[in-house]
Amino acid sequence: MAIIIDLGRMPYRQALEIQRSRHEEVRQGAEDTLFLVEHPPVVTLGRHGGLEHLHLSEEELARRGIELAATERGGNITCHFPGQLVGYPIVRIGRRTGGLHGFVHLLEETVIRTAAAFGVTAARRPGFPGVWIGRGKLCSIGLGVRRWVTFHGFALNVGRDLSLFDAITLCGLADAHPTSLSRERNDASLSPQEVKDVCAREFQALIAHPPLAARQAAL
């Protein structure tokens, strides 16, 4: 099992400090934890960079009230904004069968099952972490791992407004475009809180009983 903590809406850097603090606690034996949060507009760069895929200057981002942050997660450039559900799992993976690859598979499965609960069929795209609907990226995944404890995590698009993605080439992939649960359902009434509740339930179920594919992912 894991503790689920809803941070509400919180600036990116504040949530990062909370992650770092909990990371140390989990490393020393505290329970695995999943933080769920929405962020004000922010563009984040992964360990593989991403500035070359940013379409606005840093000055223009600042003028529009959009933060720019370099991170310690894997992957390339992405963005967060109200209407997107972000999950930060602080989880010990050193003793989990399947290791890091198995845990990424588990996060993807969490999102796939969450989407299914709202009538949306999503899937993996071989060679590209995350959750997809055709070439539409529903959820990005970028983890950091330190001393076999994860941080950073996933970003699931819920609302219809995906305009912040216009500022970037999504994950540095020219053929990818963002999509969301609301767009796929053609339902503007879907709220991140509804999705948050389902996502928490699915994560708890999978962390307690990982699917066979996740256990075998590192083989």
| HSE-CB for 139 with a 13 A CA cutoff | 31
Rounded CA separation 206/208 (Å): 5
**Is 79 annotated in the active site?**
no
Q: Which of 79, 139, 171, 199 is catalytic?
A: 171
Strands (DSSP E) along 14-127, which ranges? 33-38, 42-45, 67-70, 78-80, 84-90, 123-125
Task: Identify any residues that bridge with 54 across adjacent strands, giving them in sequence order.
Answer: 168
Beta strand 33-38 with 3-9 is: parallel
DSSP 8-state secondary structure symbol assigned to residue 54: B
Rounded CA separation 122/179 (Å): 11
Active site residues: 171
